[in-house]
């Protein structure tokens, strides 16, 4: 059975299931802050880990696998979340690799009515310094309502780069000024704090979620 970290009210109309990025666990500072911000906006948030990351808690230093190989783990996490009694509309997604994995299983689940949308936090459009190695092919025909938050200085995909990609009309990309891959800005340069961006993110996600599940 998948282990979850849960935040937000039990009575929230919508639940968001989030997977972590390639290098940090579900309880990293970034993931925790994001979950708390979404919960404060009135959303129910569930976080989980892929097996390789869980194994690190017991001293097994496994490298991140190829993203597509953990697709079945994401699908199982959804089933386990429902088995725990979580009902109502479900949005799936995650941080970086977690969001990418969710994006690869989303359309199949959306077509079955099992999910309502996809939320990606810092999508890894390409590896850093390798803009030719795009991870966008499946995004061109994506049918699931999708919201991507990206920092304007994210080395996995900048605003200028993303503007040239062939992305489905189902995808909305919201940019956070001076945000890095963790969506964190440099306050001395941008005037924004990490807390500012998290508040903006949470309010936008809540408004978007209410719109797509209504």
Look at residue 123 in the predicted model and tell me its pLDDT: 98
Q: What is the mean pLDDT of residues 23-27?
A: 96
**Counting Cβ atoms within 10 Å, is residue 168 exposed (0-12), middle (13-18) or buried (19+)?**
middle
Helix (H) / strand (E) containing 209 = helix 194-213
Q: Residue 61 above 90 pLDDT? A: no
- pLDDT tens for residues 136-178? 999 999 999 999 999 999 999 999 999 999 999 999 999 999 9
Q: Are 144 and 105 in contact (CB under 8 A)?
A: no
Q: Structure pTM? A: 0.97
What does the pLDDT read at residue 62? 83
107-138 per-position pLDDT tens digit: 999 999 999 999 999 999 999 999 999 999 99
């Amino acid at each position: 059975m998948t282990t979850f970290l849960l935040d937000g009210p039990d009575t929230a109309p919508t639940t968001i299931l989030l997977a972590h990025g390639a290098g940090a666990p579900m309880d990293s500072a970034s993931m925790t802050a994001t979950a708390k911000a979404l919960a404060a906006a009135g959303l129910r948030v569930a976080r989980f880990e892929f097996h390789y990351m869980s194994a690190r808690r017991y001293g097994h230093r496994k490298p991140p696998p190829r993203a597509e190989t953990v697709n079945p783990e994401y699908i199982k996490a959804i089933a386990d979340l429902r088995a725990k009694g979580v009902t109502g509309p479900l949005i799936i997604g995650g941080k970086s690799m977690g969001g990418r994995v969710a994006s690869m299983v989303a359309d199949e689940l959306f077509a079955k009515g099992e999910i309502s949308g996809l939320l990606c936090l810092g999508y890894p459009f390409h590896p850093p310094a390798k803009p030719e190695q795009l991870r966008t092919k499946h995004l061109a025909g994506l049918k699931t309502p999708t919201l991507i938050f990206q920092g304007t200085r994210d080395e996995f995909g900048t605003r200028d780069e993303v503007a040239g990609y062939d992305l489905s009309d189902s995808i909305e990309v919201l940019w956070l000024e001076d945000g890095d891959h963790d969506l964190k800005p440099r306050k001395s340069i941008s005037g924004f704090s990490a807390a500012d961006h998290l508040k903006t993110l949470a309010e936008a996600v809540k408004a978007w979620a209410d719109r797509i599940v209504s």
